[in-house]
Structure 1
Amino acid sequence: MTQQSRRLVEWKSGVWLNPPQSFREEDGLLKVVPEKGRDFWKKTLYGFEFEDGPALLANWDPNTAVEVSFQLSSFTELYDQAGLLLYHGPGQWIKTGIEMNDGIPQLATVVTDGYSDWSLTAVPEWAGEEVTLRASIMKDAVIIRARSKQHAWRTIRVARFPYPTSNQAGPFTCSPTREGLEVIFTRWEITAPDQDLHINPPVE
């Protein structure tokens, strides 16, 4: 796969890990309403365990990068969230995207291998924009980057992801504390992997 090549993933080609309350395709977009109270988290700090959030997954070749884009216009309440789920199996996954926290959109990543950790970076200037999350495997790690329509790529996490096979990836959304969130996903693509940690990938 060349650095310029991209392949759209059709929404219908994905399989739901935990179906949402509702979803529909409309004009090439995927509109998803997650059920209140579902999430992804394992043990750390809170003690509870959730792995019941909706995610639309397809097989992920480690020699490719995966990108998911979505709109932030509906994000208003605490813990409203959406983005990209990288899934190896129960208890071994990474969710990364935008999560509302303290009234501000935050770039959030939860890395889980039996236990979860959580990192946040505030991006108030991204409010209301279309956001893209990207993941690319390099050796035993995954490089996670994000951008918006108006802001360039930024690297938000390098995390351990030592699974050479049997991986899936795709869009996810959760609404742990409220009813009525609808997330509009605009794009799901497979493209060429990152060539270097310090070189940004191209923008389509």
Structure 2
Amino acid sequence: MTSKKIDWSSGSWTNEPESSRTEGDRLIVQAVEQSDYWQQTMYGFQHDNGHALLASWDEPFAVEIAFKLDGFSGLYDQAGLMLWHSPTQWIKSGIEINDGVPHLGAVVTDTYSDWSLSPVPEWIGREITIRASRLNDAVIIRARSKEGPWRTVRVARFPYLTSVQAGPFLCAPTRAGFQVTFTRWSLTSPDTDIHIDPPVGG
């Protein structure tokens, strides 16, 4: 299939952000201070008050979210793509500030959360796309800057076939005033193999 854009009005917020508005094709969202998603691991706490704008994610399409990597400055400022089955089964992948540097990463949660990340300081100021595509009982998560190729972020178990939603998310665990400009939400052709890059959407 060719890329099909999803209208921002198609989604519903898990938790209302501080503010959100559309400007043309863009969605500009400000997170509530101390918002986050995390389940138990290492820290012991459960945070369920992040902001995810979710709509049904039907097979077999891949889902992509694009946003501007600017204005990320506070510890754990984060935005990207959320895949949601339930409050204890979800995956978030995107950019997160850690020790002052933007990192590309993913949190995979099945009762407990884990976290993987890799620094991408060269992506500051660019448009970033996060992509997820289901393959058998897993999702392949990839990311790219507008000028670069796809990078594989994670292959994670996600076997759910019903009650699955996806869409943009953002969280601001440590500060007020964090704002993200999302530029695209789309469905496109799924991955056919982990070793074959998907086409570049737009």
User: Structure 2-normalised TM-score?
Assistant: 0.98
User: Does the residue aligned with 2:177 lie in a helix, a strand or coil?
Assistant: coil
How far the C-alpha of 1:19 sits from its partner, in A, is: 1.0
Alignment correspondent of 2:190? 193
Residue 62 of structure 1: CA displacement? 2.5
Map of 1:1-204 to 2, 5 A cutoff? 2=1, 5-204=2-201
Runs of 4+ in 1 over 6 A off after TM superposition: none
How far apart are the structure 1 equivalents of 2:125 and 2:112?
Answer: 32
Contact kept, 8 Å, 1:71 with 1:185, in 2: the verdict is: yes
Residue identity (%): 59
Which amino acid counterpart does residue 50 of structure 1 have in structure 2?
H
SS in structure 1 at match of 2:153 = strand
Amino acid at match of 1:63: P
- 8 Å CA contact 1:8–1:190 kept in 2: the answer is yes
Unaligned runs of at least 5 residues, structure 2: none
For the residue of structure 1 that corresponds to 2:132, the secondary structure is strand
What secondary structure does 2:71 align onto?
coil
- Secondary structure in 1 aligned to 2:58? coil
* Aligned partners of 1:62 and 1:165 also within 8 Å: no
Aligned residues: 201
Measure, in 2, the Cα distance between the counterparts of 1:51 and 1:94.
Answer: 13
Q: TM-score, normalised by structure 1?
A: 0.97
- What amino acid is aligned across from residue 78 of structure 2 in structure 1? Q
Given that 1:33 and 1:181 are in contact with CA atoms closer than 8 Å, whether structure 2 keeps it comes out as: yes
Unaligned runs of 5+ in 1: none
How far apart in 2 are the matches of 1:28 and 1:39?
Answer: 26
Rounded to whole Å, the distance in 2 between the matches of 1:11 and 1:169 is 12
- Counterpart-to-counterpart distance in 1, 2:64 and 2:53: 13
1:156: how far off?
Answer: 0.6
